[in-house]
Amino acid sequence: MASLLVQVGKFKEVEQLLSEMEIQGILLDNPEAFSCIIQGFVCEGNLEKAILIYEKARRRCISPSLSCYRVLVDSLVRMKKTQVALGVCTDMVEMGFDLGDDEKAAFENVVGLLCWQGKVLEARNLVKKFVASGFRPSDEVLYRITRGYCEKKDFEDLLSFFFEIKSPPNVFSGNKIIHSLCKNFGSESACLYLRELECTGFKPDEITFGILITWSCREGNLRNAFIYMSELLSSGLKPDLHSYNALISAMLKEGLWENGQGILAEMVERGTEPNLSTFRILLAGYCKARQFEEAKKIVLEMERCGFIQLSPVDDLLCKIFSFLGFNDSAVRLKRDNNAGVSKTEFFDTLGNGLYLDTDVDEYEKTLTEVLENSILPDFNLLIIEECKNRDLKAVLRLTAQMDRWGQELTSVGLMGLLKSHCKSNLRIKPIIDVWKRRPDMIAQLEADALNLLVQAYSKNTSTSSGIGTLNEMIRMDVRIEKETYSALINSMCKIGNLSDLVGCWDRARKDGWVPGLLDFKSLISCLCKKGELKEVVFLLETMLVSYPHSRLDILNIFLERLSEDGFPAIGRVLAKELTSLGFSLDQKAYELLIIGLCKENTVSIAINVLDDMMAMSMVPCIDVCLLLIPTLCKIGRYETAITLKEIGTTKLSSSSRRVYGALMKGFFTTGKVREALALLEGMMSKGLSLDAEIYNLLIQGHCKAKNFEKARELLGVMVRKDLSLSISSYGKLVRLMCMEGRSLQALHLKDIMLRNRKSHDCVIYNILIFYLFRSGNSFLVGKILDELLPDNVTYNFLVYGFSQCKDFSSSTLYLFTMIQREFRPSNRSLNAVISHLCDTGQLEKALELSWEMEFRGWILNSAVQNAIVECFISYGKLQEAECFLNRMVEKSLIPKHVDYNNIIKQFCQSGRWLKAMDLINIMLKQGNIPNASSYDFVIQCCCNYKKLEEALDLHTEVLDRCLKPSITTCDELVSSLCREGQTKEAERVLMSMLEMGEIPSKDAYRSMLNRYRYENDLEKASETMRAMQQSGYELDFETQWSLISKLSDTSLENSNNNNSNKGFLSGLLSKSGFSRVSIP
């Protein structure tokens, strides 16, 4: 009962049933049922109930399914139920499931949630259990743990964690650690830590050393910076541009300007091109050292590299000072005229004394700031700058580098990114990572940024992150823009996540959101595909009220979506209802209905709509005419078809030839050859030339009428006029030729087709091969095989064709060939060969084919698996049969809706009831319910081996699945239960038979009577005798007398006087349902 309620989605009723069962002391122990109940409550949004049911299952030591665990964990993470999520995830890991990608993603989310909330120790312990179960934590999991420890600055514990799990961090996590250590404890501490980190297997990259170099330069420790650069180069790595810039900045800051050009030259020699920042550093350094001539050379180099453009009148010094951020008049270079006190600070190449006419302290401060700010790259500032420049490629490059440098996006940087993202369709990783890695940032963002963030997630179809952010916005009482709702709902429509879509839509409606026409189109399409017709109608009503001036457009969109998604009949009903309310439909609405109804093969309704349309003097469009004319001919409404032809040729004259062709096709399809030829004459009398399409229709019509001579004549005309014969016409001609014994002419036709076509070679050959086999001309197939390069279809035709011709050696050969060429055989081809091999005792060859399929991960269908297993069983190789089936499970090669009914019976007959039960479970898991006969065999087998608990469970399952166990099975079960003293269960089985309208056998009743006699239960025995009599059975004398003797003894013991014995036999028989008899 619980399973049935679960199947129809009555989860609240299931909960009530479970409570009642518990009161009666009956405990549900079906993991599948519990899993469905939990998932059902989660899908309904009732997470609390789902948790209660989950905890109830775990108290009974029942483990839900893996998919149930995943759904529950995902929901708990989304609702931030941290401790419960941790408990459920821990259970999932410890259960020993083979976790898939989805489950591992759920595990990652739990780790992320724990780390975000500062519970790094719990996250660490969870990861350790994950590793202990034989899994390797992903790089994303290690990054989240790393980030959590970095925030706590507990680097020693983090190091011990990597040693414990025996998994080193990747460069992103490792560099994050080194960056955090440099920031908090200095580069020397970071270097020492790196040596220990390398012992875990961590491989530093050029960025790792770059972080050490830049921080050493920032600390003024040039010696260490060069040591790290030396180690970087000796490791065969290529230094990063930022590392070079940091070294140049630090050296120039220390006044070592002579070495600046040397580092620049080495940098270029190693293939690292300088950027604008490099040149700015050099200019600042040379100006600080008063080396203005060197600075001028740098400006000329900048022009050569394309960073700036110079004109002949440009003052290079003014350019330099402007580039460094000085005002045009703020810095002047003057010559000292030696009048009075000397002002000379430095000399030019000619020996003239020069000095700076400026605020020297401010000048020095500005240059020092340029050098210091260039040492350590601040990616947030760089990203904001490039966002202002609208250079999205540079933004993407910087965001990719940021992660590798161990830095994170700030709220200011994120805002700049979001504004840029709105104007592009690029997928920017730091935006996508905000929800997963930095949910704490959500609280730092303003309303505009949050709305842009949700829109960015929607644009990148990261709807789970979008929904999570939206929920946080609701919790924070932040204004949600209509554009945000539109973007998120459209994204969910594309993905088809119905539960999230409905929830978001409900919230949007409460905030007064009404979809625009484009939103309406995607929303209604998604709802139609999911069959949510109630929501569809509600949406239509909302749109008609909200957009009174666009009602026709709205209705047409509505009808179009209903028609395309398989609900045209509902569209028809709603259209009628709207018409009765005074709403006028336009021509397009009727046409959409007709097209949709024809697609669903509800032709009669489509023609009724056409009649309504024509009654209102509306002219159907050409698509409707072409669609309905052949259909009208099929149902005998030739007059209407001809009327549509007249409409098409007069009011749609540009499409006259196509309309004639449609009617001609209709005539030929229904065998009206004379009418079709008369139509042809009518076309020619109106001066309409015959094109390739008409000729193809004529050929197909004559082929249908088996008029080969006329078809050949038309083919000759087409060849002379150089018109293309369609594949469809070719197929019909080849079929006719082969069926009439003209196979050689079919070969000639193939040559004609190949001459006139540049493609479809394989299709042409495949059609010919198919009909040659069908007509029994397999000997001709070999003649054409050397002419083509076979494709998958060719091989399947060859395998199946030769098998039909009983040439199984060729069939098997081509099957092996196609598999070796990585063409997957069709089920029909594989079945034909495997079945033959098994029927003829060639089991080894069948297994060889099976291995070839298994090796490629190709699923063997039910028929093939059954054939091989039956062959094993026929040879008495039961263990090999079981091993084969186990291998199919282990390699995930079980097809959907697999059918093992035949081999379940054979395993039972061989006494392998455990394997038979296993096969039943596999069938159920793959979505196929075994037939009642399979259950019968397994139950009977369990009874024979006295496995009555399993037999009863299966019997209950049969009834739950609305199947009908056989009388023999029930008899066997009742008898076995009675023999083992399980009277109550035997009664229940007997009652279930009566409730299904079945009459238990006499043996079943006799078993019950014997059991009651053994238990001295007079009342139950009497009831059973009465039931037997009502079922038409008569008790034999031996049974009657045995029962009477037993009951007589019992009665005598309880009697007090002779009167009580009087008429005992008569009374007993009367009480047992027998009529009074005279006893001598």
Q: Is residue 509 part of a domain?
A: yes
CA trace torsion 912, 918, 922, 928 (10° rounding): 70
pLDDT of 225-247, one tens digit each?
Answer: 999 999 999 999 999 999 999 99
317 and 386 within one domain:
no
Q: Which residues contact 1042 (CB under 8 A, 6 or more apart)?
A: 1013
879 and 893 within one domain:
no
Q: Is residue 80 part of a domain?
A: no
Q: Which residues contact 242 (CB under 8 A, 6 or more apart)?
A: 210, 214, 377, 405
Predicted confidence band of residue 163 (pLDDT cuts 50, 70, 90): very high
End-to-end CA distance of the chain: 55
pLDDT at position 880 over 90: yes
Confidence at residue 1077, expressed as pLDDT on a 0 to 100 scale: 41
C-alpha to C-alpha distance for 635 and 623, rounded to whole angstroms = 19
Lowest average pLDDT, out of 139-153, 448-462, 1041-1055, goes to 1041-1055
Q: Is residue 852 part of a domain?
A: yes
pLDDT of 827-871, one tens digit each?
Answer: 999 999 999 999 999 999 999 999 999 988 899 999 999 999 999
The b/e string for 770-794 (b: 16+ C-beta within 10 A; e otherwise) is bbbbebebbebbeeeeeebebbbbb
pLDDT at position 1066 over 60: no
Section 961-973 average pLDDT:
89
Looking up residue 156, the CATH number of its domain turns out to be: 1.25.40.10
Section 121-130 average pLDDT:
93
Predicted confidence band of residue 1060 (pLDDT cuts 50, 70, 90): very low
Confidence at residue 91, expressed as pLDDT on a 0 to 100 scale: 92
Residue 1052: Cβ within 10 Å count: 11
365 and 419 within one domain:
no
C-alpha to C-alpha distance for 857 and 366, rounded to whole angstroms = 67
C-alpha to C-alpha distance for 738 and 772, rounded to whole angstroms = 6
Lowest average pLDDT, out of 71-85, 531-545, 777-791, goes to 531-545
427 and 544 within one domain:
no
Last residue within a domain, chosen from 825, 849, 883:
883
Whether the model clears a pTM of 0.85, i.e. scores above it, the answer is no
pLDDT at position 1072 over 60: no
Write the DSSP string, 832-900: HHHHHHHHTT-HHHHHHHHHHHHHTTPPPPHHHHHHHHHHHHHTT-HHHHHHHHHHHHHTT-PPTT---
Predicted confidence band of residue 1065 (pLDDT cuts 50, 70, 90): very low
C-alpha to C-alpha distance for 295 and 285, rounded to whole angstroms = 9
Please enumerate, as own/partner, the contacts of 712-715 that have beta carbons within 8 Å and a separation of 24 or more: 715/749
pLDDT at position 1052 over 80: no
Confidence at residue 527, expressed as pLDDT on a 0 to 100 scale: 80
Percent of the chain with pLDDT strictly greater than 70:
87
Tell me which range, 341-355, 368-382, 420-434, is most confidently predicted by mean pLDDT: 368-382
What is the three-state SS of 79-91?
CCCHHHHHHHHHH
Report which residue type is found at 561: R
Predicted confidence band of residue 425 (pLDDT cuts 50, 70, 90): low
Alpha-carbon distance values, 190 to 139, 186, 194, 215 (Å): 21, 6, 6, 10
1062 and 947 within one domain:
yes
pLDDT of 700-759, one tens digit each?
Answer: 888 988 889 988 998 998 888 888 888 999 999 999 999 998 989 999 998 888 887 655
C-alpha to C-alpha distance for 663 and 671, rounded to whole angstroms = 12
Predicted confidence band of residue 20 (pLDDT cuts 50, 70, 90): low
pLDDT at position 621 over 70: yes
Residues of the domain holding 311: 240-376
pLDDT at position 432 over 70: no
C-alpha to C-alpha distance for 1004 and 973, rounded to whole angstroms = 9
pLDDT at position 763 over 80: yes
C-alpha to C-alpha distance for 906 and 793, rounded to whole angstroms = 35
Predicted confidence band of residue 21 (pLDDT cuts 50, 70, 90): low
969 and 894 within one domain:
yes
- In 3-state terms, what secondary structure has residue 347? strand
Confidence at residue 349, expressed as pLDDT on a 0 to 100 scale: 59
pLDDT of 164-191, one tens digit each?
Answer: 999 999 999 999 999 999 999 999 999 9
913 and 875 within one domain:
no
Predicted confidence band of residue 308 (pLDDT cuts 50, 70, 90): confident
Q: Is residue 681 part of a domain?
A: no
Last residue within a domain, chosen from 567, 587, 617:
617
Residue 313: Cβ within 10 Å count: 5
Alpha-carbon distance values, 460 to 282, 481, 494, 520 (Å): 41, 18, 11, 20
Structure token pair of residue 276: 């604008």
Exposed/middle/buried for residue 611 (C-beta within 10 Å: 0-12, 13-18, 19+): exposed
Helix axes 656-669, 692-704, angle to 10 degrees: 10
478 and 445 within one domain:
yes
- Biggest distance spanned by C-alpha atoms of the chain: 166
Confidence at residue 171, expressed as pLDDT on a 0 to 100 scale: 94
C-alpha to C-alpha distance for 405 and 412, rounded to whole angstroms = 19
Confidence at residue 44, expressed as pLDDT on a 0 to 100 scale: 72
If you count DSSP H runs as helices and E runs as strands, how many of each does the chain have, helices first? 60, 3
Q: Is residue 435 part of a domain?
A: yes
Confidence at residue 228, expressed as pLDDT on a 0 to 100 scale: 95
Confidence at residue 24, expressed as pLDDT on a 0 to 100 scale: 57
541 and 508 within one domain:
no
Beta bridge partners of 347: 353
Confidence at residue 902, expressed as pLDDT on a 0 to 100 scale: 93
Q: Is residue 354 part of a domain?
A: yes
Predicted confidence band of residue 339 (pLDDT cuts 50, 70, 90): low
- In 3-state terms, what secondary structure has residue 335? strand
Alpha-carbon distance values, 965 to 899, 910, 982 (Å): 19, 21, 20
Q: Is residue 140 part of a domain?
A: no
Going by the DSSP 8-state scheme, the letter that residue 759 receives in this structure is S
The angle formed by the CA atoms of residues 329, 334 and 340, to the nearest 5 degrees, is 125
Confidence at residue 411, expressed as pLDDT on a 0 to 100 scale: 79
pLDDT of 360-378, one tens digit each?
Answer: 888 889 899 999 999 999 9
Contact 418, 428 (CB under 8 A): no
Predicted confidence band of residue 1080 (pLDDT cuts 50, 70, 90): very low
Write the DSSP string, 586-640: -HHHHHHHHHHHHHTT-HHHHHHHHHHHHHTT----HHHHHHHHHHHHHTT-HHH
pLDDT at position 282 over 50: yes
Confidence at residue 660, expressed as pLDDT on a 0 to 100 scale: 84
pLDDT at position 327 over 70: yes
Q: Is residue 59 part of a domain?
A: no
- In 3-state terms, what secondary structure has residue 346? strand
Confidence at residue 1047, expressed as pLDDT on a 0 to 100 scale: 55
1023 and 903 within one domain:
yes
- In 3-state terms, what secondary structure has residue 869? helix
Query: Strands 353-357 and 332-335, how do they pair?
Result: antiparallel
How high does pLDDT run on average in the chain? 83
pLDDT of 895-911, one tens digit each?
Answer: 999 999 999 999 999 99
303 and 409 within one domain:
no
Confidence at residue 870, expressed as pLDDT on a 0 to 100 scale: 93
325 and 203 within one domain:
no
Q: How many domains does the chain have?
A: 6
Lowest average pLDDT, out of 5-14, 87-96, 178-187, 635-644, goes to 5-14
Section 564-591 average pLDDT:
74
Last residue within a domain, chosen from 203, 234, 265:
234
Structure token pair of residue 850: 């099976």
Confidence at residue 829, expressed as pLDDT on a 0 to 100 scale: 93
Q: How far is CA 862 from the centre of its chain?
A: 25
Section 759-763 average pLDDT:
76
